[in-house]
Amino acid sequence: MAAAEIVKLLEGGYNLKKLKGFYFCTLVLILLLFSPLRMIAEAGESSSLDVIRRAQLRGELDDETALVYRVWAVLDPERLPPEFSGQPQRLVKSLTPLFLEVRSRWDELRPQAKAALAPYLLRPTEPGQEPLLYGHSYSVPAVYHDSPGGHLRIWYVTSTNDSPDLVYTYGDTIPDWIHICAEVFDHVWETEVDSLGYRSPPADGSWYGQEDYGGDSRYDIYVEDLNRHRVYGYAMSEFNTPGVAPRAYTSYIVVDNDYSSTLYPTSGEDGLMVTAAHEFFHAIQFAYDTLEERFFMEISSTWMEDVVYDAINDYYNYLSHSGHSSIFSRPELSLTTFDGFYEYSSCVYGHYLSKRFDRLIMREIWEGCVQQTALAAMDEALNARGSDLASAHNEFAVWNYFTGSRADTALYYPEGDRYPQVKIYSDNLHSSYPVEMDSVSHPPQPLGASYVCFLTQDTPGGFRVEFNGRPKVTWNAALLGVGPPHEVVQIPLDGFGHGQGQMFNWSGYQQVALVVTPFALSGSSVQYAYQAMPDSSLIGPDQFVTALGQNYPSPVAGDRTVIPFSIARGGEVSMRIFTLEGQLVRRFDWGYLDPGQYYGPDRGTGDWDLTNTADELVAAGVYLYQLRLGDHVETRKMVVVR
């Protein structure tokens, strides 16, 4: 079989049955092509994947060989050369990104590399197609169970290590684990497709005449022993369906047969639930753009886990982890960083977007991804809400400062008190003044962030900061007064990245922080300089004025909104919400308040649950909200959408 014919067979849908005879002919060639390289494993490497990646960066492995080795490292580590196989395996949250990399690079791979990777792209229901004893298909015929919701088909075997426990308590011949899988994936479909309005995964039924791609148009889920591979699960793309979107693909999902191993931080049914929510959202992504930027695929899929199963919180495991970078331990790295771990911690960006604006914004971004990149789609969705990618990223960095003991779960992340605190490098931590820094030890990348902490002193007046960023990017900067209450002051910067900011009454805060974010769509780390000192002349204007802020998110698409306000003098405060016709919807009496910044209208929760005096959700429409302090009355509008 000629090389050109091999390439033709492998392109356009992995028609792999025709390759059976070819595997024997190419085995020797594959082993020669991917022979062990003479290299010394570095001490302290945490996994085979790490060793392979670093060997690739040193130029000791070409990109194609590294890709094959990375697939082997997860699915067949015994096939690796000794330099790599002796390393421990680490848990892989999702194999989807690795298989998507294979998909995106398929056309450029040599025939030998394609033959080495091809067996891992087979559906598990195709036993006997792998004369070479590697790959991950079932070794016995599979059976299936259709979910009660009618959209899904669950495939499994009743023998070998891939079999779930053969426990039957549902009164039929279907193992309990398969019933649970059907129920979980039905719930995921109902939430992500029926409730949130995302596209359903493209159906694979039209390919049935060519091969057994699940047998009909139901979406296929395969239950397999993934514990041996140390993998939570994955979604595998297959056929391009350009009638849905230019880069839409059919797919299937593989999950574990019990998640009982202690290697899973979230195990048992909870492990299945978060994996189902995560991987099914990948299948949904394939209805928009299968080859979208992988960092955003993982951010949004990991965010979706918490949307579907809020009580499980598997994503906590990726926010802080020794030996791996996260958005809190390495904030200077770009939001687009993709290294097998960082992108999962960056899921907090999805939490920021959905609370700061609304949950619909993520769907709008994916709709935009059909014709443009993820970053361009983000900017477009933010523009529609009166923001933009650069300013939103700085605000996101501010939110990342208010976590742990500094958390304000009403104003920022609802679960922020469970998050670690962001890393502040020692050269950016100051307690004596004045401060003058010409550069920093860990300059941020574009779409990264850097934090400077100034410990306050019991001195009169305020604090002044002068910032100078390199002009090759667009800078945003903010000063934070860490209370409570907290205060955020944006520093106005000119086109050269220079500006000054000031914080009044700084001794009233625990600390003052400078948050800086360079914006560009790509690029390397960017240096900045700053000067800072107390300033006793900063005694006015008053820190607070009586003012009613705009509610957020705006418009209100969920079930809660926050109304910020500040008062310059103490007094009796109340807030009222009216219809446009003047009918009272709710009244909130705060009693006497000291001067300061507050969040309402409900004093207890710091927000409004959108219910009226009868505890009924209000209808969509325009409402008026009014602040009263003595003879001071201020009114603004809010919009509620359903």
Q: Could you give the angle at which helices 63-75 and 96-105 cross, rounded to 10 degrees? A: 150
Q: pLDDT for 252-291, tens place per residue?
A: 999 999 999 888 999 999 999 999 999 999 999 999 999 9
Comparing 6-20, 130-144, 210-224, which segment has the lowest mean pLDDT? Answer: 6-20
pLDDT of residue 5: 33
pLDDT of residue 214: 67
Q: Is 334 a domain residue?
A: yes
Q: Is 235 a domain residue?
A: no
Q: Does 612 have pLDDT greater than 50?
A: yes
pLDDT of residue 206: 61
pLDDT band at 126 (very low <50, low <70, confident <90, very high): low
Sole residue written with tokens 């056309």: 107
pLDDT of residue 455: 96
| Same domain? 113 vs 56 | yes
| Same domain? 335 vs 451 | no
Cα-Cα-Cα-Cα dihedral sign, residues 239, 191, 262, 87: positive
pLDDT of residue 544: 55
Looking up residue 554, the CATH number of its domain turns out to be: 2.60.40.4070
| Same domain? 552 vs 623 | yes
Q: Does 133 have pLDDT greater than 60?
A: no
Model pTM?
A: 0.78
Looking up residue 437, the CATH number of its domain turns out to be: 2.60.120.380
pLDDT band at 127 (very low <50, low <70, confident <90, very high): low
Selection from 299, 257, 267 nearest residue 282 by Cα: 299
Tell me phi and psi for residue 29, to 5 degrees.
-65, -40
Tell me phi and psi for residue 348, to 5 degrees.
-65, -20
pLDDT band at 324 (very low <50, low <70, confident <90, very high): confident
Answer yes or no: are the C-beta atoms of 226 and 264 closer than 8 Å.
Answer: no
pLDDT band at 136 (very low <50, low <70, confident <90, very high): low
Tokens of 459: 């001195």
| Same domain? 499 vs 444 | yes
Q: Is 499 a domain residue?
A: yes
Sheet harboring 435-437: ordered strands across?
A: 435-437, 528-535, 462-469, 498-503
Number of domains present in the structure of the chain: 4
pLDDT of residue 505: 84
pLDDT band at 232 (very low <50, low <70, confident <90, very high): very high
Q: How buried is 516 (Cβ within 10 angstroms: 0-12 exposed, 13-18 middle, 19+ buried)?
A: buried
Mean pLDDT value of segment 116-141: 68
Q: Of the spans 130-139, 362-371, 553-562, which averages the highest pLDDT?
A: 362-371
The more confident residue out of 347 and 632 is 347
Q: Is 40 a domain residue?
A: yes
| Same domain? 408 vs 437 | no
Mean pLDDT value of segment 285-306: 97
CA atoms within 13 A on the CB side of 501: 27
Mean pLDDT value of segment 41-48: 51
pLDDT band at 321 (very low <50, low <70, confident <90, very high): low
Q: pLDDT for 555-577, tens place per residue?
A: 898 888 989 888 877 888 999 99
pLDDT band at 33 (very low <50, low <70, confident <90, very high): very low
Longest dimension (CA), the chain: 90
Of 401, 418, 435, at which residue does a domain stop? 418
Mean pLDDT value of segment 377-390: 95
Q: Does 15 have pLDDT greater than 50?
A: no
Q: Is 619 a domain residue?
A: yes
| Same domain? 304 vs 413 | yes
| Same domain? 352 vs 430 | no
| Same domain? 339 vs 403 | yes
pLDDT of residue 276: 98
Q: Where in the sequence is the domain holding 329, given as residue range(s)?
A: 293-418
* Mean pLDDT estimate for the chain: 86
pLDDT of residue 44: 37
Tokens of 332: 């200077």
pLDDT of residue 13: 37
CA dihedral defined by 276, 281, 283, 289, rounded to 10 degrees?
A: -160
| Same domain? 380 vs 432 | no
Tokens of 592: 């006497």
| Same domain? 395 vs 359 | yes
pLDDT of residue 10: 38
Q: Is 175 a domain residue?
A: no
Q: Does 512 have pLDDT greater than 50?
A: yes
Q: Is 487 a domain residue?
A: yes
Mean pLDDT value of segment 438-454: 98
Of 399, 418, 437, at which residue does a domain stop? 418
Mean pLDDT value of segment 449-461: 94
Q: Cα–Cα distances in Å, from 195 out to 200, 308, 642? A: 12, 11, 12
Q: Does 137 have pLDDT greater than 80?
A: no
Q: Does 20 have pLDDT greater than 50?
A: no
Q: pLDDT for 409-422, tens place per residue?
A: 988 999 999 999 99
| Same domain? 363 vs 322 | yes
Q: Could you give the angle at which helices 360-368 and 348-356 cross, rounded to 10 degrees? A: 110
Tokens of 264: 């899973």
Q: Is 511 a domain residue?
A: yes
Task: Look at residue 621 and give its three-state secondary structure.
Answer: strand
Residue 12's CB is within 10 A of a number of other CB atoms, namely 10
Of 80, 99, 121, at which residue does a domain stop? 121
Answer yes or no: are the C-beta atoms of 328 and 420 closer than 8 Å.
Answer: yes
Comparing 98-112, 138-152, 331-345, 628-642, which segment has the lowest mean pLDDT? Answer: 628-642
| Same domain? 111 vs 22 | yes
Q: Does 541 have pLDDT greater than 90?
A: no
pLDDT of residue 40: 24
Q: Does 639 have pLDDT greater than 50?
A: yes
